[in-house]
Structure 1
Amino acid sequence: MKRMSYHRVCALSVIALSLTIAGCADQGGIKPQAQVRDVTALAAGQAIRTAGAEAGWPQRAWWSAYNDPQLDALVQTAVAGNPSMAIAAARVRQAQSMAVVAHAGELPGVQLDAAVGRKDWSDNVYYGASFRDKLTWNNTATLGLSYNVDLWDRNKNATERAQDEMHAVAADARAAQLDLESNVVRAYVQLALQYGLLDNTEAMLKEEQKILDLAHRRFTGGLGTQLDITQAEAPLPETRRQIEALNESIALVRNQLAALLGQGPGAGEKIARPVLALHAAIGLPSALPAELVGRRPDISAARWRVEAAGKGIAVAKAAFYPNVNLLAGIGPAAAGGGMLSFLSLPNWQTTYGPAISLPIFEGGRLRGQLGATTAGYDIEVEHYNALLTQALKGIADQVVTLQSVQRQQQQARESVAAAQKNVDIATRAYQRGLTDYLNVLHAQTQWLRQQQIVQQLQAQRLSAWASLSAALGGGLEAADANDVIKAAAQ
C-alpha cells in the first residue's frame, strides 16, 4: 500500500513539474502580431468599380480570345515542354513526400535490430581469463515497437503543416504555369508589333524612294536642283537601318518564344507572322474582390503558407511539454555458445514501458524557436496581405490602361487621317513645284510617327488585356497536388 502511494506521488510530481515548465511557452509575450487582412475590407477603387460591363472570370484558355490558332498551339507547347513546369511538378512531388514523412510520426514504428559477432578473446589473464584461447559468439536480436503518445498534438500539427505546405507548392506550380502562359502571349504580341512596325517602315522606304525618283525627274527636266536630290537621298539610309533593326527584333522575339517553348532557336524560325484579332470588351467579375483569393494561384499559395506557419507555432509550443513514448521489445541475446544457440528459449527477453523526456533547462532554446516560428508566421501573414493589395493594384492598373488606350486609339486614328491628308497635299504641291522637299519629308515623318503610335497602342491594348487576365487568375482554379503532377506528365 505504501509502495502504491509512493509511485502515485512520484507520478503526480512529474506531471506537476511538466506542467510548470510547459507554462513557459505562454510567457514573455511570444505571440503573433500580424493579422490576416480581409480582402472584402479593401477599397476596390474607382477604376475597378467602373470597369465596364460585368464579365465572368477568365476562361481556362483565355488566350483563345486573340483568335490566333498559332498562339493556342504555342501556349500548349510551352506548358508541356518548358523545364519550369517539370521543376514545379518535381517540387510538388517533393512536398508530397515530406508530408508522408511528417505523417509517419503519428504512426507506430516497428524495427528489427540484430547483431552477430564472433569474438577472439585476449590471452591477457586480466581480460577474459575464463575464455582464454577461445572463440565465442556474441549475438543479439530485438524486435522493437515504439509509439509516440501525441498528448499535445505536436505530430498532428506537424503533419498538417506539411500538408499545407504541399498545397502551397501545388499553388506555386499553378502560378508558374500562369506566368509562363502570359509570358508567351506578351512575347507573341511583341512579335506582332515588330511585324507591324516593319510594314510601316518598308512603306515609308517606298515613299522615300518615290520622292527620290521624282527629284531626279525634276532635275532632268530642269525644274529641280541637285540639293533636292541630296535632300531626298538623306533619309534612305536611316530608314534602311530601321528596317534592319526591326528584322533583328523579330529574330530575337522568335528566339525568346522558342526558349519559352523549352526548345532551341530553330523552333522560333518556324513561327509565322501573328494574326491577332482581339474583340474582348473590358469587364470585371461582379464577385471581385471577394473571390480573388481563390482565383489567384499566388495568393492561394500565400494563404496556405499562413496556415502552415500557424501549425508551426503549435509544434513549437508542444516542444515545451513532456514527450511520451511507449516502447516494447522482444528478442534473444546471448554471449558464448554457437552462432544460432542464442535463439533458444532461455535466451529470450522482453522489455516494455513508457519513456518520458522533459526539457528542464535548455538555455532558452525552446523560447528562441517559438519566437522565430512566431516571427515567421508574421512574415507569411504580411506577405499574404501585401499580395492582396498588389493584386488589386495590378487589376486596377490594367483597367486604367485599357480604358486610356481605348480613348487614345480613337484620337490616334484621327491623327493618322490628318497626317495622311497632309502628306497627300504636300506631295501634290511638291510635284507641281509649289513647295520644296522638306515639307514633304516633314509630312511623311509625322504620318510615320502617327502610324507607329497606332500600332504601339494596339500592342499595348493586347498586352494589357493579357496582364488583366493573368491578374484575375487566368482561369486556373485551385488544384490538387496530384493534378499538377499529372498535368506535367502529359
Structure 2
Amino acid sequence: MMGMQQKPLLMAGICLLFAGCTVGPDFRRPDAPAVSGYTREKLAEHTAAADVAGGQAQSFLSGADIPSQWWTLFHSQQLNQMVEDALNNNPDLAAAKAALVQAQENTYAAQGVYYPSLDANASASRKKTTGSQYGNPGGRGTQFNLFNASVDVAYVFDLFGGERRNVEALAAVAESEGYQLEAARLTLTSNVVTAAIEEASLRGQIAATEEIIESEQQQLEMLQKQFELGGISKSDVLAGKTRLAQTRATLPALHKKLALIRNQLTALAGRFPEQESGSAFTLSALQLPQQLPLSLPSELVRQRPDIRAAEAQLHTASAQVGVATAKFFPQISISGSFGSVATTTANLFSPGTGVWSIGTNLLQPILHGGSSIHNRRAAVAAYNKAAAQYQSTVLAAFQNVADVLRSLQSDAEGLQAQTHAVQAASEQLDMARAQFSAGAINNLLLLDAQRSYEQARISLVQAQASRYADTAALFQALGGGWWHHADTTAMTSAAQTDVKP
C-alpha cells in the first residue's frame, strides 16, 4: 500500500504532467518550395549593352547577399538624402512602428496569466440592522461602522495550454507586425527610388522635347524663307507650323506629370507640397549598378517580408486552433483571501479581527449548444485559409522575381534596339533635310523623318529609365536586405520558442 509520503509526490507529478500538456497543433514552419530557379529557361550571364547612359551590361551574382541600403548603389547623394528623409518622417512608417509596439505590449500583457494575481482591497461602510433580520421582531435596530482590508490571491492552472496557445498567437501577431513594418519600409524606399527615376525620365523627356521644338522652329523659319522666295507653297509652311504646335502641345502634359511626381516625392518624405526641397533628379546623375545579387530560390521565402508576415499569420491561426481545443477541457483555478474586519479603523489588524478564505474551482464545459465544436471548426478553417494565403503569397513572390528578371533582360535589349533606332532616325532626318534643301523631296517626307526622330528620342529616354526602374524592382522583389538593419524590428525570436522545426 502506498505510503503517506509517496502520495504528495504522486500528486505533484500529476500536476507537472498536466502543466506540460498543450493541446492543439505545434506549428511547423512551411518548407521552402522545391524549385532550383525562377524561370524555366536559364538566365543569361549578363544583359545586353548599349552605348548610352544607363546602357551598361548587368551581370547576375547567384547567391550574393543584398545590402540593406541598396539604393546607395545608384551613387546619388541626392537620392540617399531623399530616402533618409522618408525613413525619418513618413507617417505610414510611423504607424507601422506603432502597430508593432501595440502588438508587442499585447503579448507582454497576456503573459501575465502565467503568474498569480495579487490584489489589495479596502472598504468602509455604515450599516443598520433590525431585530427582524435575526428573528426578533421587537428587537431594536443597531447602527455600526464596518471597515475591511484584505489581500486577494488567485491563480488559474493552465493544465491544457489554452492560455499558452493564446500567448503564442499574440506573439505571432507581433512577429507579423514586425515583418509588415519591414515590408512598409521596403515599399517606402522602393517608392522613393522609383519616383525619383520617374522624375529623371520626365526631365529627360522634357529636355528632348525642347530640343526638338528648337529644331522644328529653325526648320519652320527655313520654310518661311523658301515660301517668300516662291520655292514652296503656303501649305508646306502651314504643315510645319502644325507640326511645331503639336510638339509644343506635348510639353504641358509632361510638366503636369513632373509636378505630380514631385508632389509624390514630397509626401513620401513626410512634407507638405509647399515644403518641396527643390532638388531635381536626372538620369545622368544616377549610375546603373552593373552587378546584381540574385538570391537563391530556397532563400527567398526567408528574405521576403511579405512571406514572413504570411508565415506569422499562419502561426497565429495554428495557435488559435489550440485555444479553441482547450475549451473542451476542465479549467481549474485557486483563490485565497487574507485580511481584517473591524468596526473602527483603529482596531483593524488587532487580535481577533483577522479573516481568511481559500478555495478552488473546477469548470468542465458540458453543453453549450455545440458552440465549442463549431468554434474549433472555425479555427481550423481559419488555419486552412491562412495556409492558402501563405501559398498564394509565395507564388506571387516568385512570379514577381521572374517578371523582374525578364524585364531586366528584355528592357536591356529594348534599350540597345532603341539606341540603334535613334541613330538611324537621326541619320534619316539629316538626309531628309539635305534633300529638302536641294529640292529633291517635298515637305511631307521631311515631316515624316522629323516625326520618326522625335518618337525615337522620347522612347530612348523612357527605355533608359526602365533600366534603372527594373534594377530597383529587383532589389525590392528579393526582400531589400532588411535583415542587415542594425535596428531590425522583425520579431524572429518571438515565435521560435513555440516553433517545432
Q: TM-score range by the shorter chain?
A: 0.7 to 0.9
Q: Deviations over 1:280-300 (max 9, x none)?
A: 246453x51111122111111
Change (3 A) 1:455 1:38: same
Shift of 1:432: 1.9
Residue number among 198, 205, 209 corresponding to 1:197 in the alignment: 205
Residue number among 61, 64, 73 corresponding to 1:54 in the alignment: 61
Change (3 A) 1:484 1:152: closer
Indicate whether 1:279 and 2:288 are aligned. Answer: yes
CA distance, structure 2, for counterparts of residue 453 and residue 155 of structure 1:
62
Aligned to 1:180, the other structure's residue is in SS state: helix
1:44 maps to amino acid: G
Aligned to 1:142, the other structure's residue is in SS state: strand
Q: Match for residue 462 of structure 2?
A: 456
Shift of 1:269: 5.2
Indicate whether 1:408 and 2:414 are aligned. Answer: yes
1:411 maps to amino acid: A
Determine if contact 1:294/1:477 at 8 Å carries over to the other structure. Answer: no
CA distance, structure 1, for counterparts of residue 193 and residue 319 of structure 2:
39
CA distance, structure 2, for counterparts of residue 122 and residue 180 of structure 1:
75
Q: Match for residue 178 of structure 1?
A: 186
Gaps of 5+ in 2: 5-10, 46-59, 492-501
Q: Match for residue 110 of structure 1?
A: 118
Determine if contact 2:131/2:138 at 8 Å carries over to the other structure. Answer: no
Q: Match for residue 488 of structure 1?
A: none
Shift of 1:314: 1.5
CA distance, structure 2, for counterparts of residue 130 and residue 105 of structure 1:
53
Aligned to 1:273, the other structure's residue is in SS state: coil
Q: Match for residue 431 of structure 2?
A: 425
Shift of 1:453: 1.5
CA distance, structure 1, for counterparts of residue 225 and residue 135 of structure 2:
122
CA distance, structure 2, for counterparts of residue 130 and residue 250 of structure 1:
97
The TM-score, its normalising length taken from structure 1, stands at 0.86
Q: Match for residue 37 of structure 2?
A: 44
Q: Match for residue 368 of structure 1?
A: 374
Q: Match for residue 358 of structure 1?
A: 364
Determine if contact 2:175/2:312 at 8 Å carries over to the other structure. Answer: yes
Shift of 1:206: 0.8
CA distance, structure 1, for counterparts of residue 204 and residue 316 of structure 2:
50
Q: Deviations over 1:158-207 (max 9, x none)?
A: 22222222111111100000000101111111101111110111111111
Change (3 A) 1:80 1:132: farther
CA distance, structure 1, for counterparts of residue 149 and residue 489 of structure 2:
45
Change (3 A) 1:75 1:129: farther
CA distance, structure 2, for counterparts of residue 243 and residue 160 of structure 1:
58
1:355 maps to amino acid: N
Indicate whether 1:441 and 2:447 are aligned. Answer: yes
Change (3 A) 1:211 1:80: same
Determine if contact 1:327/1:352 at 8 Å carries over to the other structure. Answer: yes
1:41-440 equivalence runs, <5 A: 41-42=34-35, 44-46=37-39, 49-50=42-43, 52=45, 53-55=60-62, 56-120=64-128, 132=140, 134-268=142-276, 270-274=278-282, 275-281=284-290, 283-285=292-294, 288-334=296-342, 337-440=343-446
Determine if contact 1:95/1:162 at 8 Å carries over to the other structure. Answer: yes
Residue number among 461, 476, 482 corresponding to 2:482 in the alignment: 476
CA distance, structure 2, for counterparts of residue 128 and residue 199 of structure 1:
107
Identity of aligned residues (%): 27
Gaps of 5+ in 1: 5-10, 486-490
Moved more, 95-104 or 147-156: 147-156
Task: Return the structure number with greater helix share.
Answer: 1
1:413 maps to amino acid: T
Shift of 1:398: 0.4
Cα RMSD over matched residues? Answer: 3.0
Change (3 A) 1:459 1:75: same
Shift of 1:424: 0.3
**How many residues get paired?**
458
Change (3 A) 1:269 1:436: farther
Shift of 1:43: 6.1
Change (3 A) 1:132 1:339: farther
Aligned to 2:276, the other structure's residue is in SS state: helix
Determine if contact 1:137/1:339 at 8 Å carries over to the other structure. Answer: no
1:368 maps to amino acid: H
Change (3 A) 1:456 1:131: farther
Determine if contact 1:44/1:392 at 8 Å carries over to the other structure. Answer: no
Determine if contact 1:219/1:225 at 8 Å carries over to the other structure. Answer: yes
Aligned to 1:222, the other structure's residue is in SS state: coil
2:286 maps to amino acid: A
